[in-house]
C-alpha cells in the first residue's frame, strides 16, 4: 500500500531539498518579519505570528507550491496610520476583513486577470521590488539610532552611517562578502545543502567562536523594540500639547520632545520590555473594536481594501514569476482563496497579515525548494525556533542575512532589461521605468501595477488607432465600394470619421468589414454618426461582410443601429 501511495503521490518530491530550503527560509524570515513589524508600529511577535500563519496556510492550501508568504513591507507601510490612531486591535480587524475581500476575489476568479498583465509591467515590478529589497538592507549599516521628528512622517527612527574604515563596518563587510561568495560558489561544487544555509551557519560560527563582534538578530530586535516604545511615548506627549501650540511653534516643539532624554520612569518602562524572540503559541482572540466609532470603522474598511489589493497584486505577480522560473503553472484562484483564508486566521491569532514574499520565494527556489513542504517546513521551523530555541536565531549575524538578501537582489533583478533599450518600443521602456520608480518611491505595488497597466493600455490604443484605413476598390454608377482595414474601437473612431467624405460620395456607399472589426459602443456610435451624415444628404451607407462576432455586437446595440445602413451581407463585395 505504501509503495502504491509513493508511486502515485511521492514521485518527484524532493523531501530533503524542501526541508533544507525551508530551514534556510525560516532563518531569513525572522529579521524580515521583525523589521516589517516595526514599520507597522507593532511588536516583533505580531510580525512573526503573521509569518507563521500566513506562511503555513498559503503553503498548504495556496496556488503555488514553493512560494513563500509572510509579513511584507508593501503591506506594513500602509498599516502605520491605523495602528497609531486606533491601536493594534483595529489593525487585526482590518487584516480579517482584508482576508475576506481576498476570499471573495478568489470566489469571483479575479486572479486569472493577472495572466493578461503586460510583460513590461512584470519587468518593472520585479526590478522595482529588487531595488526595494536591496535598499532595505542598508538600514543595518547605521548606528546610534534615535528618535527624531520629521514633518512628513512624524516621529521616526534615525541613525548615522557607520564611518568608513571603522572596525564594525569592516567586520560587516567581510561577512557579507563571505556570505555572497559561499552562496555563489558552493552550488558549483554541490547542491546537496542549500548554499545560503551553509553561509549563515558558517558566519554564525565565525562570530560566536572568534573575537569578531558584529550586530546580531538579538541586537536588532532589542534595539528596535526599545526605539518603538520611545517613539510611542514621545508621540503621545506631542499629541497632548499640539492643540495648544501656534502653527509656527509646532515643528520646534516636536523636535524638542524628540531630542529630550528619557525620564527615569520612561527608562524603567523600556528596561522592563521583554528581550529576544521567546514566545508561546498565540491564542485565538476576536479583535476588540468599537463598532460605534464610524471614523475607525471607515479606516478599517479602507485599510482592508488596500491590504487586500496590495497583497493580491504582490502574490499573483510573484506567482507568475515563480511559474516562469520553474516552468510550471500555479492556480491564481486557489492563491486568492488560500491567502484570504490565511489572513483571516492570522488576524484572529494576533498577526499583522501578509502575502507572498518575492525575496524569500527566490531563496527557496534557488535553494531547491519546489514543493509545498518547503513553505510548510519554513513556517513550522520559524515558530519552533521562537518557541523552543530563540537563541539559535538571535545569534545569527545580520551581515550574513544581508549577504543572502543581496544575492536575492542580484538573482531577482531582470538585468536583461538593459538589453531591451533600442530593441523594443519606447513606450514599453517607459512602462518598465515607471512601474519600477513607483514601486521604489511609494512602496505601493498595487499603485505601481495600476499605473503600468494604464500606460500599456493607452500606448496600445494609440498605436492601434493609427491602423484604421479606407481603400476604394470599385466604383460604378451611383455606387461606391470601400474596404475598411483595422480595428474600430474608442481609440480609432476619430480617424474613422475623418476617412469618409459624404459630400463627395454617390448615393449608395458600401463598406466591407472583412478586414476590420467592430469592438465597442464607441465604434457603434461612430458608425451611427457617419451614417447620419450620409442620410442628411439623402444618401445611404451599407455595411457588408461583417464578422459574425461583430454582427452580434451590432445586434445587441438594438435601436442604436439604424436598419437602413446596417446590412449583414454574407457574400458579394
3-state secondary structure 214-262: CCEHHHHHHHHHHHHHHHHHHHHHHHHHHHHCCHHHHHHHHHHHHHCCC
Is residue 82 located within the same domain as residue 148? yes
Is residue 46 located within the same domain as residue 154? yes
Note whether residue 11 is domain-resident: no
Pick from 208-212, 266-270, 302-306, 445-449: least confident? 445-449
* pLDDT (average), residues 321-330: 87
The dihedral region occupied by 276, where left means phi > 0, alpha psi between -120 and 50, and beta the remainder, is left
Note whether residue 245 is domain-resident: yes
Is residue 352 located within the same domain as residue 411? yes
* pLDDT (average), residues 97-121: 89
pLDDT digits (tens, 9 = 90+) for 20-58: 999 999 988 888 888 788 878 888 889 999 999 999 999
User: DSSP labels for 258-284?
Assistant: HHSPPPHHHHHHHHTS--SS-------
For residue 557, pLDDT over 60 is answered with no
Residue 472: CB atoms within 10 A of its CB come to 10
Note whether residue 461 is domain-resident: no
Q: With bands split at pLDDT 50, 70 and 90, how would you rate the model's confidence at 254?
A: very high
Is residue 394 located within the same domain as residue 484? no
Given the C-alpha cell 498583465, which residue does it identify?
117
The distance from CA 66 to its chain's CA centroid, rounded to whole angstroms, is 17
d(CA 380, CA 376): 6
Q: With bands split at pLDDT 50, 70 and 90, how would you rate the model's confidence at 191?
A: confident
Task: State whether residue 521 is helix, strand or coil.
Answer: helix
Is residue 368 located within the same domain as residue 227? yes
* pLDDT (average), residues 310-333: 89
Note whether residue 445 is domain-resident: no
Instruction: Give the pLDDT of residue 190.
Output: 85
Please tell me the pTM assigned to this model.
Answer: 0.80
Residue ending a domain, among 377, 395, 417, is 417
Instruction: Give the pLDDT of residue 558.
Output: 56
Is residue 509 located within the same domain as residue 366? no
Average pLDDT, the chain: 87
Nearest to 412 by CA among 449, 358, 375, 369: 358
d(CA 50, CA 103): 18
Is residue 476 located within the same domain as residue 404? no
CB 518 within 8 A of CB 508: no
**What residues pair up with 476 in beta bridges, in sequence order?**
479
Kindly state the percentage of the chain with pLDDT values over 70.
Answer: 94
Pick from 27-41, 87-101, 392-406: least confident? 27-41
Residue ending a domain, among 382, 417, 452, is 417
Task: State whether residue 422 is helix, strand or coil.
Answer: coil
**What residues pair up with 156 in beta bridges, in sequence order?**
148
For the record, the C-alpha cell of 392 comes out as: 539559535
The distance from CA 243 to its chain's CA centroid, rounded to whole angstroms, is 38
Residue 548: CB atoms within 10 A of its CB come to 8
DSSP 115: G
Nearest to 54 by CA among 323, 338, 316: 338
Instruction: Give the pLDDT of residue 299.
Output: 93
Domain count, the chain: 2
Instruction: Give the pLDDT of residue 117.
Output: 80
For residue 561, pLDDT over 70 is answered with no
Instruction: Give the pLDDT of residue 571.
Output: 41
d(CA 354, CA 537): 65
- Looking at per-residue pLDDT, the higher value among 355 and 113 belongs to 355
To 10 degrees, what angle do helices 294-326 and 332-348 make?
A: 140
Note whether residue 106 is domain-resident: yes
DSSP 397: B
pLDDT digits (tens, 9 = 90+) for 81-92: 888 788 899 999
CB 59 within 8 A of CB 374: yes
Is residue 392 located within the same domain as residue 476? no
The distance from CA 57 to its chain's CA centroid, rounded to whole angstroms, is 19
d(CA 451, CA 321): 20
Note whether residue 567 is domain-resident: no
CB 337 within 8 A of CB 106: yes
Instruction: Give the pLDDT of residue 555.
Output: 67
pLDDT digits (tens, 9 = 90+) for 414-436: 888 888 888 888 899 999 999 99
Instruction: Give the pLDDT of residue 566.
Output: 47
Residue ending a domain, among 417, 448, 480, is 417
d(CA 374, CA 20): 8
For the record, the C-alpha cell of 363 comes out as: 531563496
Note whether residue 430 is domain-resident: no
The distance from CA 483 to its chain's CA centroid, rounded to whole angstroms, is 46
Whole-angstrom distance between the N-terminal and C-terminal Cα of the chain? 70
For residue 297, pLDDT over 90 is answered with yes
CB 463 within 8 A of CB 495: no
DSSP 545: S
Instruction: Give the pLDDT of residue 556.
Output: 62
d(CA 429, CA 421): 7
d(CA 132, CA 436): 9
* pLDDT (average), residues 457-468: 85
Please give the helix or strand (H or E) that residue 325 lies within, else none. Answer: helix 294-326
Range of the domain at 483: 466-560
CB 117 within 8 A of CB 204: no
For residue 564, pLDDT over 60 is answered with no
CATH code of the domain in which 526 resides: 3.30.750.24
Is residue 42 located within the same domain as residue 182? yes
Given the C-alpha cell 506562511, which residue does it identify?
55
- Looking at per-residue pLDDT, the higher value among 319 and 112 belongs to 319
* pLDDT (average), residues 481-497: 90
Instruction: Give the pLDDT of residue 554.
Output: 67
Given the C-alpha cell 526595494, which residue does it identify?
132
* pLDDT (average), residues 519-541: 88
Residues 6+ positions from 128 with CB-CB distance below 8 Å: 435, 436, 437, 438, 439, 440, 448
* pLDDT (average), residues 116-143: 87
Is residue 128 located within the same domain as residue 246? yes
To 10 degrees, what angle do helices 15-40 and 358-366 make?
A: 160
Note whether residue 427 is domain-resident: no
* pLDDT (average), residues 151-165: 88
Is residue 80 located within the same domain as residue 229? yes
For residue 12, pLDDT over 60 is answered with no
CA distances from 348 to 270, 339, 345, 353, 521 (A): 28, 14, 5, 10, 47
Is residue 203 located within the same domain as residue 82? yes
Instruction: Give the pLDDT of residue 451.
Output: 92
Task: State whether residue 513 is helix, strand or coil.
Answer: strand
Amino acid at each position: 500500500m505504501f509503495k502504491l501511495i509513493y508511486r502515485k503521490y511521492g514521485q518527484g518530491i524532493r523531501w530533503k531539498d524542501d526541508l533544507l530550503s525551508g530551514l534556510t527560509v525560516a532563518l531569513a524570515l525572522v529579521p524580515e518579519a521583525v523589521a516589517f513589524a516595526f514599520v507597522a508600529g507593532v511588536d516583533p511577535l505580531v510580525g512573526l505570528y503573521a509569518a507563521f500563519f500566513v506562511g503555513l496556510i498559503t503553503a498548504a492550501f495556496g496556488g503555488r507550491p514553493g512560494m513563500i508568504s509572510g509579513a511584507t513591507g508593501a503591506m506594513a507601510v500602509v498599516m502605520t496610520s491605523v495602528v497609531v490612531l486606533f491601536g493594534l486591535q483595529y489593525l487585526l480587524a482590518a487584516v480579517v476583513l482584508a482576508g475576506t475581500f481576498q476570499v471573495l476575489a478568489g470566489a469571483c476568479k479575479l486572479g486569472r486577470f493577472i495572466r493578461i498583465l503586460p510583460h513590461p509591467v512584470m519587468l518593472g515590478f520585479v526590478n522595482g521590488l529588487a531595488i526595494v529589497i536591496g535598499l532595505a538592507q542598508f538600514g543595518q549599516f547605521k548606528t546610534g539610532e534615535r528618535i527624531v521628528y520629521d514633518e512628513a512622517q512624524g516621529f521616526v527612527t534615525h541613525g548615522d552611517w557607520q564611518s568608513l574604515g571603522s572596525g564594525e563596518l569592516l567586520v560587516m563587510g567581510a561577512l557579507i562578502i563571505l556570505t555572497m561568495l559561499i552562496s555563489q560558489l558552493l552550488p558549483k561544487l554541490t547542491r546537496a545543502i542549500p548554499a545560503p544555509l551553509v553561509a549563515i551557519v558558517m558566519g554564525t560560527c565565525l562570530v560566536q567562536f572568534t573575537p569578531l563582534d558584529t550586530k546580531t538578530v538579538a541586537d536588532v530586535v532589542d534595539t528596535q523594540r526599545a526605539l518603538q516604545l520611545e517613539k510611542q511615548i514621545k508621540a503621545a506627549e506631542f499629541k497632548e500639547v499640539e492643540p495648544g501650540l501656534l502653527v509656527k511653534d509646532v515643528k520646534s516643539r516636536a523636535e524638542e520632545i524628540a531630542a529630550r532624554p528619557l525620564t527615569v520612569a520612561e527608562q524603567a518602562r523600556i528596561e522592563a520590555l521583554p528581550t529576544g524572540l521567546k514566545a508561546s503559541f498565540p491564542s485565538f482572540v476576536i479583535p476588540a473594536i468599537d463598532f460605534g466609532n464610524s471614523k475607525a470603522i471607515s479606516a478599517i474598511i479602507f485599510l482592508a481594501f488596500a491590504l487586500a489589493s496590495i497583497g493580491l497584486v504582490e502574490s499573483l505577480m510573484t506567482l507568475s514569476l515563480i511559474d516562469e522560473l520553474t516552468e510550471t503553472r500555479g492556480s491564481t484562484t486557489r492563491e486568492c482563496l488560500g491567502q484570504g483564508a490565511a489572513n483571516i486566521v492570522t488576524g484572529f491569532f494576533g498577526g499583522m497579515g501578509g502575502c507572498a514574499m518575492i525575496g524569500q520565494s527566490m531563496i527557496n527556489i534557488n535553494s531547491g525548494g519546489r514543493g509545498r513542504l518547503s513553505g510548510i517546513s519554513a513556517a513550522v521551523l520559524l515558530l519552533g525556533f521562537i518557541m523552543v530555541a530563540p537563541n539559535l536565531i538571535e545569534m545569527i549575524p545580520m551581515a550574513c542575512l544581508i549577504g543572502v538578501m543581496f544575492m536575492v537582489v542580484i538573482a531577482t533583478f531582470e538585468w536583461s532589461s538593459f538589453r531591451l533599450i533600442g530593441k523594443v518600443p519606447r513606450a514599453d521602456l517607459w512602462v518598465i521605468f515607471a512601474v519600477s520608480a513607483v514601486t521604489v518611491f511609494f512602496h505601493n505595488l498595487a499603485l505601481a501595477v495600476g499605473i503600468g497597466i494604464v500606460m500599456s493600455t493607452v500606448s496600445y490604443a494609440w498605436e492601434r488607432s493609427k491602423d484604421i484605413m479606407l481603400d476604394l476598390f470599385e466604383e460604378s454608377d451611383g455606387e461606391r465600394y470601400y474596404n475598411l482595414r483595422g480595428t474600430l474601437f474608442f481609440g480609432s473612431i476619430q480617424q474613422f470619421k475623418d476617412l469618409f467624405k459624404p459630400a463627395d460620395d454617390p448615393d449608395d456607399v458600401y463598406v466591407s468589414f472583412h478586414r476590420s472589426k467592430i469592438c465597442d459602443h464607441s465604434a457603434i456610435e461612430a458608425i451611427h454618426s457617419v451614417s447620419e451624415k450620409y442620410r442628411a444628404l439623402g444618401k445611404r451607407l451599407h455595411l457588408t461582410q461583417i464578422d459574425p462576432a461583430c454582427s452580434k455586437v451590432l445586434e445587441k446595440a438594438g435601436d442604436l443601429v439604424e436598419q437602413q445602413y446596417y446590412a449583414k451581407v454574407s457574400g458579394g463585395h
